[in-house]
Amino acid sequence: MRYWERRLASKFLWLVSAAYAFWAWRLIEKSSLVAVDGKQYFCLFDDAMIAMRYAWNLAHGKGCCWNVGQYVQGYTSPLMVGVMALPCAVFSKSTACHAVQLLGIPTVLAVAWYTRRIFLLLTARRGLSLGVFVAVLAYYPLSYWSLMGMEVGLVVLLMLVALGYALRHAVARCAVFLCLAFLARPDFVVLAAVLLVFLFLTHRQRALLAAGAFAAFVALVLACQYLYYGDALPNTYTLKAVGVPAGDRIRDGLGFVRPFFVWTLPLLGLAAVGLWPSHRRRRLLLAALAGAVLAYQISVGGDPWPLWRMLVPMIPLALLLAASGARFLLRGSSLAATVAVGLALVLCDLPFAAEILLKAKPYKSDETILNVNTALVLNQTLPPGSSIGVEWAGALPYYTDFRAIDFLGKTDRNIARMKPDTTGKVAFSGMRSVPGHNKYNLDYSIVELQPDYIQRCDWGHSNVCPWASEHYTVIWVEGIDLAIRNELLP
């Protein structure tokens, strides 16, 4: 590429990055709310808000816990909690959430940059690499989860950096980022195994040393979690995986990913063609990583949220292959290949068009608004030292200082160790039994523990509403209905 072409490409990348940053900022603003007290509040996706409560307590010297003094690991990403703790230490609760959202912008931009860089390792087609850069930024689920505070963008970025070092045979550096990625999400161990096998095929001795270092790091993290929480694995693992028959998980996993295949089939078709050009071993590595992501999603039984949170790492890998596949089919035309990949990506994004165009609030915003407002009203209604029972365990507990009881068990060992409900009573998004929502016992959470406020009194087969109607009274405050224990009412 000549000098003026490189300058033009550089300006194009900066222009696209600036446009993306402006759009992402607008999406973050659209996700905020003006609450019942007339102030603006920022809030992450509810699962991320669970981690924020841990981070807030950690940053303020109360320990890395959801309820002070209660040590249960109800989060999955230690690295993300550590990142969240930094703004929590210096900002208010709302501003800390805003800061975490803003950190998602450079994270997604870095994902796009590294995807383009890896594409240039596979082919010298710099013009087509610009299209790959834009395509990564255009994939909405990656932006949504990253800008709403989940660890998705961080995991994808660390995966791509580790992949880049693996392709360049920088074994030691690859191992470092494998460790960081495991700290970002423990189930990354599946992808780490694929990368280590690839390194073993070409650098056997160094790969064995890297695998040993990675295994030692994993053991260290698990040991630290055991010493701090009393369990080596997060409570979320116990909640979602333990006790669920493998056949049920695979059935639900296949049901969950079926719509994903419908919308991504053209992109995946181009990616399959992309396996045939040169550097086949490298391309097979990309396919193996993508296949591992898909297989893992199916094996764990799906996910509660139909925005492909755990499937997002597949997309940069698929785009790398699809760009090459489109160019191969279109006889070397980079422009035509860019258009083909763009059209395939439009289909992937079609279900989210209203959110992309900022004509609708981001996914689950209505629930977030209600939960934040409820938290603010509870702060004015309940006395200090009260307890709250919640279905949504993120925003509502975070914006209060009350002890919280999680009806669905992310932070409750007793619920997490129950036998899951596989009867179909808790079924949606193609799943007959939804992970993280199929273990519950409201007789325990409400009747036995008797929180001072309850968010609901029924879930699945568990219904304590007749009992609750005798012991709780629904009151209206600022347009919010609150079920308060009778003893606390005047």
Region for residue 419 given its phi and psi (left: phi exceeds 0; alpha: psi -120 to 50; beta: otherwise): beta
Q: Give the residue, 250 or 490, on which the prediction is more confident.
A: 250
Give the bridge partners for 453, in sequence order.
388, 484
Go through the chain and tell me how many residues it has. 490
* Cβ contacts of 281 within 8 Å, gap of 6 or more: 201
Q: Which helix (H) or strand (E) holds 129?
A: helix 126-138
Cα–Cα distance between 473 and 471 in angstroms, integer?
A: 7
pLDDT attached to residue 457: 96
Q: What percent of the chain has a predicted confidence (pLDDT) above 90?
A: 87
Tell me the pLDDT tens digit for each residue of 392-448: 999 999 999 899 999 999 999 999 999 999 999 999 999 999 999 999 999 999 999
pLDDT attached to residue 157: 98
Lowest mean pLDDT among 109-113, 298-302, 325-329, 472-476: 325-329
pLDDT attached to residue 7: 77
For residue 244, name the pLDDT band (cuts at 50, 70, 90): confident
Which residue ranges make up each domain of the chain?
3-31+72-356, 365-488
Tell me the pLDDT tens digit for each residue of 336-350: 888 999 999 999 999
DSSP-assigned states of every residue in 278-293: S-HHHHHHHHHHHHHH
Q: What percent of the chain has a predicted confidence (pLDDT) above 70?
A: 98
**Burial class (CB within 10 angstroms; exposed 0-12, middle 13-18, buried 19+) of 368:** buried
* Residue 106 and residue 18 in contact, taking contact as beta carbons nearer than 8 Å: no
pLDDT attached to residue 334: 78
Tell me the pLDDT tens digit for each residue of 62-115: 999 999 999 999 999 999 999 999 999 999 999 999 999 999 999 999 999 999
User: pTM to 2 decimals?
Assistant: 0.95
**Beta strands 403-406 and 387-390: pairing type?**
parallel
CB atoms within 10 A of CB 216: 11
Lowest mean pLDDT among 45-59, 262-276, 326-340, 426-440: 326-340
For residue 124, name the pLDDT band (cuts at 50, 70, 90): low
What's the token pair of residue 145?
């989860």
Tell me the pLDDT tens digit for each residue of 55-65: 999 999 999 99
DSSP-assigned states of every residue in 194-231: HHHHHHHHH-HHHHHHHHHHHHHHHHHHHHHHHHHHS-
**Beta strands 462-463 and 40-41: pairing type?**
unpaired
Q: Which amino acid is at 31?
A: S
